[in-house]
Amino acid sequence: MSEVIFHNTLTRKTEAIQPRDGNLVGMYCCGPTVYDHAHIGNFRTFLSQDVMRRTLQVAGYKVLHVRNLTDVDDKTIKRSRDEGKPLATVTEHWTRVFHEDCARLNLLPPQIEPKATDHIQEQIDMIKSLLEKGHAYATPDGSVYFRVSSFDEYGKLSRIADRELTTTAADASPNDSDEYDRDSMADFVMWKSRKEEDGDVYWDSPWGEGRPGWHLECSAMAMKYLGKNLDIHSGGEDLVFPHHENEIAQSECCCDTEFFRYWIHCAHLLVDGGKMSKSLGNFYTVDAIEEKGFAPVTLRYALTAGAYRQTINFTLDSLHAAQSALARLRRFSDAILAAAGLKRAALLKAIDKGKHVDDEWGPFAPSWKSLSNDLNIPGALGSIFTVLKETDISNLDPAQASAIAISFHKLIFALGYNLDQVILEKPKVEAPEEIQALAQQRWEAKQAKDWAAADQFRDELLAKGWKILDSKDGYTIDQI
Ligand code: AMP
Ligand code: ZN
């Protein structure tokens, strides 16, 4: 097993991952709210998490990946009411669309994908326990709030205290919205009493009809599925506060133990220098990028080629650069596999199953060092391309080619590029002299109006794998 280092938001340091349970890493990622297409910003985060997981696998860890589906909140309920359809019909439709997009972008499916609505009882149980311990209180309308002032360590993730904000109780300033609120340290809602706009979306509870608040679902599901493996918790940077801060407060107060150890956050994606918005017409989805003629692997490259902790600005131009970089990777992959007598799909499958876990990186050692050091993908790609430039495949014997093919494809697996999606333009090959001579004879026969001879030469060329394209004043020869 080799070392993998990530930046931990909790400690503000880069740290080597040390899972609680030997070589099994529990990894919880906050998943999508399923009420619409996920946009390419969401996918920047999901892709970074996918590269994290793949990198851990290549380093020799087993990863238990849990990513939830938020299928009840203000937005999903609004959508179901606007469309006059049951909540489950709407969320199941958008879950299917999300899964299709994930498959096209070559995201490994999480082993567990729990839905908030399937875990209402677990969330109610947590609230009960927090009430018993005095960390929560019910309000007269039948809602329940977490008492922020009851947890001394509140703010340890986001360092919100540094922003000198004051704590407000819910009865003074209730904060029961599912939307993010970045500037208030108010007590937050864990159980929302039923409101008229919720329609028929409600559950019974000891506090009356209602539904859980958004922060609670991730705490309940993470503890249920990763109870002994609370290692990595991850999301976009917007989730640091209040979502993850609140998850820590609820969970640590409920269980009196440390919640996750490593908190990893991805910076946001901007489009054309600003926030994505439907009204500006720059709200891109995977479909929209494909409609512009780019394969999903090209989008994957463009979204992951920058450092995940830095904001990136997406432009359509970045897709052209991605396309040519991927073509170089594909050509090298084809050539090195041919020299090694290996097949791409079988090799990648073996890597996924943990077959080539070793520290043999050969010329790709600097690339792995970059990747395993807080996912320095720009550094890794830079050194991969240096190796590609310096490697003369024709000089390698099969054993050398095989070693290079394996380490190269371990990196391709970690980066998750589906090279089969890369479309290569056929390189122009100059016709050999014999073919050029035949083509010239055909041209002369044609000029002399000897059609039979011209046809014969044409057929001979076709049989040898070449075709002639005539133009007004000449001809060109192309390989079939
Ligand atoms: P949501 O479906 O809004 O709950 O978001 C799903 C994931 O996408 C969360 O981890 C968010 O932090 C992340 N996210 C949302 N917008 C962006 C963006 N523009 N760039 C990167 N990640 C984002
Ligand atoms: Zn979450």
Say yes or no: CB of residue 32 within 6 Å of ligand 1: yes
The tokens of 78 are what?
A: 């609004």
Say yes or no: CB of residue 236 within 6 Å of ligand 1: yes
Cβ contacts of 228 within 8 Å, gap of 6 or more: 20, 21, 26
- Average pLDDT (174-193) is 68
- Average pLDDT (241-245) is 95
Residue ranges covered by each domain of the chain? 5-266, 270-421, 433-479
- Average pLDDT (53-61) is 97
For residues 427 and 90, the model is more confident at 90
Assess whether pLDDT exceeds 80 at residue 181: no
Say yes or no: CB of residue 450 within 6 Å of ligand 1: no
Cα of 34 vs centre of ligand 2, distance in Å, is: 13
For domain 270-421, which architecture applies? Answer: Orthogonal Bundle (1.10)
The maximal CA–CA distance of the chain, rounded, in angstroms, is 102
- Average pLDDT (30-38) is 96
Segment among 159-163, 193-197, 378-382, 434-438 with least mean pLDDT: 159-163
Give yes or no for a cis peptide into 242 (omega within 30° of 0). Answer: yes
Q: What is the position in ligand 1's atom list of the atom closest to the CA of 31?
A: 6
Please provide residue 424's backbone torsions phi and psi, each rounded to the nearest 5 degrees.
-100, 135
Say yes or no: CB of residue 239 within 6 Å of ligand 1: yes
Q: What is the position in ligand 1's atom list of the atom closest to the CA of 38?
A: 2
Say yes or no: CB of residue 49 within 6 Å of ligand 1: no
Assess whether pLDDT exceeds 90 at residue 255: yes
With cut-offs at 50, 70 and 90, classify the pLDDT of residue 178: low
pLDDT at 172: 53
- Average pLDDT (314-328) is 94
Q: Are 39 and 284 in contact (CB under 8 A)?
A: yes
For residues 315 and 319, give the distance between their C-alpha atoms in angstroms, rounded to a whole number. 7
Cα of 216 vs centre of ligand 2, distance in Å, is: 8
For residues 18 and 22, give the distance between their C-alpha atoms in angstroms, rounded to a whole number. 8
With cut-offs at 50, 70 and 90, classify the pLDDT of residue 463: confident
pLDDT at 164: 47
Which three-class secondary structure string do you get for the chain? CCCCEEEECCCCEEEECCCCECCEEEEEECCCECCCCCCHHHHHHHHHHHHHHHHHHHHCCEEEEEECEECCCHHHHHHHHHHCCCHHHHHHHHHHHHHHHHHHCCCCCCCECCEHHHHHHHHHHHHHHHHHCCCEEECCCCCEEECHHHCCCCCCCCCHHHHCCCCCCCCCCCECCCCCCCCCCCCEEEEEECCHHHCCCCECCCCCCEEECHHHHHHHHHHHHHCCCCCEEEEEHHHHHHHHHHHHHHHHHHHCCCCCCEEEEECCEEECCECCCCCCCCCCCHHHHHHCCCCHHHHHHHHHCCCCCCCEEECHHHHHHHHHHHHHHHHHHHHHHHHHCCCHHHHHHHHHCCCCCCCCCHHHHHHHHHHHECCCHHHHHHHHHHHHHHCCHHHCCHHHHHHHHHHHHHHHHHHCCCHHHCCCCCCCCCCCHHHHHHHHHHHHHHHCCCHHHHHHHHHHHHHCCEEEEEECCEEEEEEC
For residues 260 and 459, the model is more confident at 260
Give the percent of the chain with pLDDT over 70.
Answer: 94
Assess whether pLDDT exceeds 50 at residue 410: yes
Chain length of the chain: 480
Assess whether pLDDT exceeds 60 at residue 338: yes
pLDDT at 430: 80
Segment among 34-43, 214-223, 417-426 with least mean pLDDT: 417-426
Assess whether pLDDT exceeds 70 at residue 233: yes
Say yes or no: CB of residue 238 within 6 Å of ligand 1: yes
> Which of 433, 434, 443, 454 is closest to 476 using CA atoms?
443
Cα of 237 vs centre of ligand 1, distance in Å, is: 8
pLDDT at 431: 84
Segment among 21-35, 206-220, 231-245, 440-454 with least mean pLDDT: 440-454
- The residues whose Cβ lies within 5 A of ligand 2, an ion, are 30, 218
Assess whether pLDDT exceeds 50 at residue 180: no
Assess whether pLDDT exceeds 70 at residue 426: no
Q: Which ligand is nearest to the CA of 243?
A: 2
Assess whether pLDDT exceeds 80 at residue 407: yes
Assess whether pLDDT exceeds 70 at residue 175: no
pLDDT digits (tens, 9 = 90+) for 372-386: 999 999 999 999 999
For domain 5-266, which architecture applies? Answer: 3-Layer(aba) Sandwich (3.40)
- Average pLDDT (336-358) is 95
Average pLDDT, the chain: 92
> Which of 16, 461, 30 is closest to 234 using CA atoms?
30
Q: Which ligand is nearest to the CA of 284?
A: 1
> What is the bridge-based pairing of β-strands 62-67 and 24-29?
parallel
Say yes or no: CB of residue 45 within 6 Å of ligand 1: yes
With cut-offs at 50, 70 and 90, classify the pLDDT of residue 89: very high
With cut-offs at 50, 70 and 90, classify the pLDDT of residue 182: very low
Cα of 336 vs centre of ligand 1, distance in Å, is: 38
Say yes or no: CB of residue 269 within 6 Å of ligand 1: yes
- Average pLDDT (264-282) is 86
Tell me the angle at which helices 344-352 and 316-340 cross, rounded to the nearest 10 degrees: 100
pLDDT at 179: 53
pLDDT at 176: 64
Q: What is the position in ligand 1's atom list of the atom closest to the CA of 32?
A: 2
Say yes or no: CB of residue 40 within 6 Å of ligand 1: no
pLDDT at 474: 85
For residues 399 and 464, the model is more confident at 399
Q: Which of 42, 243, 309, 310 to mutate to test the pocket of ligand 1 (most atoms within 8 A of CB)?
A: 42
> Which of 330, 327, 322 is closest to 377 using CA atoms?
322
- Average pLDDT (36-50) is 97
Q: Which of 45, 74, 244, 309 to mutate to test the pocket of ligand 1 (most atoms within 8 A of CB)?
A: 45
**Residue for token digits 């199953």?**
353
Assess whether pLDDT exceeds 50 at residue 131: yes
Q: Which of 238, 276, 304, 312 to mutate to test the pocket of ligand 1 (most atoms within 8 A of CB)?
A: 238
For residues 417 and 376, give the distance between their C-alpha atoms in angstroms, rounded to a whole number. 16
